[in-house]
Amino acid sequence: VKAHRDISPGFGGPALKAYLNAKTAKVNAFLDSYLPEETRAPETLHRAMRYSVFAGGKRIRPIFTVAGAEAVGGCEDRVIPLAAAIELIHAYSLIHDDLPALDDDDYRRGRLSSHKVFGEAIAILAGDALLTKAFELLADRRHFDGVDPALLLDVAKQVGHTAGSTCMVGGQVVDLESEGKEVDLPLLEYIHVNKTGNLIVTSVTSGARLCGANAGHLRRLTRYGECVGLMFQITDDILDVEGARDAMGKEAGADQIRGKATFPGLLGVSESRERAAELTERAIESLQDFGREADPLRALAAYLRDRDR
Ligand code: IPE
Ligand code: IPE
Ligand code: MG
Ligand code: MG
Ligand code: MG
């Protein structure tokens, strides 16, 4: 509740909602024009890629990319392709995350998981193709007009690093290896920061970098992203315990069944909520040197703390 006080009155619920809708529409339009049509061979593969990309995801990572860019005075058009590339990586990660060999979830965003519709082989390959497409996009100069090629290369490296073995994939491995085991708080934080938090940090900072962020901006945006990123996975864990299946579109209670290392599992729901609230406040505090142009980031933090999906 306290965090709400720090948000300017001009950027409350309706303004944030309009902001989210506008940015989502831009990202969706880009993804739709960029991804191969469903009628393009091999059709099954392209249908599977589109099935997961256009499944009603919240698009919070691309929205973070745009909001990070705007916080340093940039404009959305410069970063929409980068934002879309990050969403492609996210989409791939969830297709693979749901596979029987990983979390074995039959539902995602209120619909059957990719492997339930297309079979495991096509789901794996659709994930591969989405991940690859993200880097094809990042290397496509036509979509980054006016961006210094050396900077673009370095941002692509940052995205690759974040998606890789010492960040996202590494976090997923430790998440799997910790199933059914007792995990202490540092290890739990390691899992959450790596499987989820770092991609959120990169979403926020990479957009800002393409728009000329300086070292001070990036330090503060990194801190914001670290707090919001960990908070986001804590709220994901809480929703798995307390969330409504219809709102979330994925099966609740799955973490406990699989013996996952989660915040509610280790600390209980109410202390997990307190942690999420503290992280939200710290995230917003990290932005105190920014002006109104960072209001979307401030509002997003509070919105994600209170989310029901
Ligand atoms: C779910 O991410 C997986 C996590 C990293 C917690 P989101 O909650 O952003 O998934 P969608 O794309 O909105 O469905
Ligand atoms: C997903 O975490 C993290 C990645 C895929 C990188 P979860 O396994 O908790 O996500 P959900 O709950 O299935 O959406
Ligand atoms: Mg998982
Ligand atoms: Mg999962
Ligand atoms: Mg989860």
- 């393409």: which residue's tokens? 210
Mean of pLDDT values over 109-132: 98
What are the residue ranges of helices labelled H in 35-167?
43-53, 60-71, 76-97, 114-118, 120-138, 149-163
Q: How many residues does the chain have?
A: 309
Give the ligand 1 atom nearest the CA of 196. Answer: 5
Amino acid 101: pLDDT: 98
Q: Is 101 helix (H, G, I), strand (E, B) or coil?
A: coil
3 pLDDT above the threshold of 50: no
Beta carbons of 168 and 161 less than 8 angstroms apart: no
Amino acid 9: pLDDT: 52
How far apart are alpha carbons 178 and 259 in whole angstroms? 8
Of the ranges 175-184, 247-256, 277-286, which one carries the lowest mean pLDDT score? Answer: 247-256
Of the ranges 3-7, 152-156, 266-270, 271-275, which one carries the lowest mean pLDDT score? Answer: 3-7
* C-beta 94 within 6 A of ligand 2: yes
Amino acid 10: pLDDT: 60
Choice from 232, 239, 251 to test ligand 1 binding pocket (greatest atom count within 8 A of CB): 232
Mean of pLDDT values over 223-245: 96
Question: Percent of the chain beyond pLDDT 70?
Answer: 97
Global model pTM greater than 0.85:
yes
Buried b (16+ CB within 10 A) or exposed e, 168-180: bebbbebbbebee
* C-beta 113 within 6 A of ligand 2: no
Beta carbons of 199 and 89 less than 8 angstroms apart: yes
Amino acid 45: pLDDT: 98
236 pLDDT above the threshold of 50: yes
Mean of pLDDT values over 277-296: 97
* C-beta 195 within 6 A of ligand 2: yes
Amino acid 8: pLDDT: 55
Amino acid 152: pLDDT: 98
109 Cα–ligand 2 center, Å: 12
191 pLDDT above the threshold of 70: yes
CA dist 3 → 8, 277, 303, 305 (Å): 11, 8, 10, 10
Amino acid 11: pLDDT: 80
Top pLDDT among 223 and 249 is at 223
Residue of the CA atom closest to atom 7 of ligand 2: 97
